[in-house]
Structures are given as C-alpha cells and as structure tokens.
Amino acid sequence: MIDRGKTEALPTAEGKLFYHYAVNLLNMREQAVYSIHNFSLSIDGTVDIRCSSIPGEYIVPSVMADFKKEYEKVRFVLTQSDSSTATESIKSHQGEIGFTGYKENNGLTYRLLKRDRAVLITPENSRFAKLERKSFKLSEFINEPFVLRESGSATRKTLENELKSKGLAYTSMDIVLRVNSMEAVKQSVRSGMGISIISEAAAERENTDRGFLVFDIEDYETTREFYMVYDDRITMSPTAETFKIFTLERYGYRL
C-alpha cells in the first residue's frame, strides 16, 4: 500500500483508503471506551484544528480559551491557511475540525457560526482623513492601489464575485501586494502601500490606535459567513467531539 520511489515513499490509493478506515476505527474505539466509563474519563487529548485566517485570529482563540477553562488537560494544534486549504485538510482527514469563510458542496458538514460584513480600510493619512466620509461605493475606490489576500481566501473570492456582479473588471485592479495573512494586509495598509477590503471582525473598529481608517462600503451587498466544518461520516476522537459540541452550543445550536 506504499509506493517507494528513489527519494520518498507515498501511499497508494489503497493505502489512503486504509488510512481513512484506520483513523475512523481508532476514534470509534476511543468513543466506545469513553461511553463505557460513563464519561468518567477526563478529556485530555489534542484537538487538531484547520482554519482560514479570520476565524483563526478572531473567532477560534476565544473558543479554545473558554474550552480549556473547563477541560484543563486539553491541547490544541491550530493550523492557519486560506479557506480552500483548510477545507481540503478536513476532506483528507489531516484535521478533525475546520473553520472557514465559505461553504462548499463537497460532502462535508458545515455549521454557520456567525455573519459579518466587509469594510474598506485605508492608510491613516491626510488624503483619506480629510474626506470626512463614512462610506464609499465600490466604483469610487476600485482604481486605488490594492493589498489583497491570496486567491484561495474567502475574502478574495467574495470581492471577485462583487466586482463581477457590478460589471467591474477584477483584472483591471492595481494590485500592489498579495499576502496570505490578514495581519500582513493590515500592516501593509498601515505603512501606506495601498487600501484593502477586509472583514469587519478584523478591522479593529473600536481600537482608536489601529493605524488605518475604516469606511463602510455602500453597495457591497455580500455578507461574510463563517462556518465550522467537519466530516460527519467519520467518528471523531472524544476530545474533538466534545470541542465540536461545545463550540456549536456557544453559537446557539441545540444538540
């Protein structure tokens, strides 16, 4: 079930299938032992989480902190990427629970956690400060130098869809920088490289010392949605299952 090449050994298709069933069987065994002991065992395993940047920076950390207050022995592995990569990690069972910025029709289970909207951020300079406006239309600033996320991010995909719906050409934008981190986007805008469109959750609107200006976008109609994603066809470890239930109940699901 392994192809051995000159430089590396890779699993065959049969090997990948066996891995899937092996993980499932091990988790089922843990669940069975946990149930037999009538939940008397402590939750002390590791939760492997795969998430996109905004959930990874502005949603998941507080959930993990509250969970750990109840289950002190729990450890976490949090891997951040774009939404596409995070979803693929869950599909390939490289992580048990994911958090992403959009929903796909790919056989995985998605649970909506919260909605958010997009805002415009600009350098905090005299040019933008003197405008004294609270909002702009998309067409009014689309020709500005832009700092954008990478192509797999949900923020980027949402922008592309909005431009298309309004007959504006994405290919004509002056993209001066592409980065794979929301913090890098904000830091680049602070330094004056350009403007950007980001989630309001990441905009630090309440922070008076954030280093950039925030404006509403009048005709940006798409609301961002953030999801927990997992594969309901496999059995999670007791620790991951407990974290999943904890998170869903925190966001209003009755289980």
Q: Is the pLDDT reported for residue 254 higher than 60?
A: yes
Contact 229, 87 (CB under 8 A): yes
Looking at residue 221, what is its pLDDT? Answer: 76
pLDDT, position 27? 57
Exposed e or buried b per residue across 149-163, where buried means at least 16 C-beta atoms within 10 angstroms of its C-beta = bbebbbbbbbbeebb
- CA pair distance 24, 20, nearest whole angstrom: 6
Tokens coding 85? 């990569």
The answer to whether the beta carbons of residues 155 and 197 sit under 8 Å apart is yes
Query: Residue 244, SS3?
Result: helix
> For residue 25, what pLDDT is reported?
59
Mean pLDDT of the chain: 85
Contact residues for 68 (Cβ-Cβ < 8 A; gap 6+): 74, 76
Residue 40: predicted pLDDT: 41
Q: How far is 125 from 64, CA to CA, in rounded Å?
A: 37
What number is the average pLDDT over the span 225-248? Answer: 94
Read off the pLDDT of residues 112-143 as tens digits, 9 standing for 90 and up: 999 999 999 999 999 898 887 889 999 999 99
13 CB-side CA count, 13 A: 0
Taking CA 79 as the corner, what is the angle to CA 231 and CA 155, rounded to the nearest 5 degrees? 85
- Are the beta carbons of 72 and 43 closer than 8 angstroms? no
Q: 153-157, 195-199, 236-240, 247-251 — which is least confidently predicted? A: 153-157
Helices (H), the chain: 13-36, 53-58, 60-70, 83-91, 126-129, 138-141, 154-165, 182-190, 238-250
Check whether 164 has a pLDDT greater than 70. yes
Q: pLDDT-derived band of residue 4, with 50, 70 and 90 as boundaries?
A: low
pTM higher than the cut 0.85: no
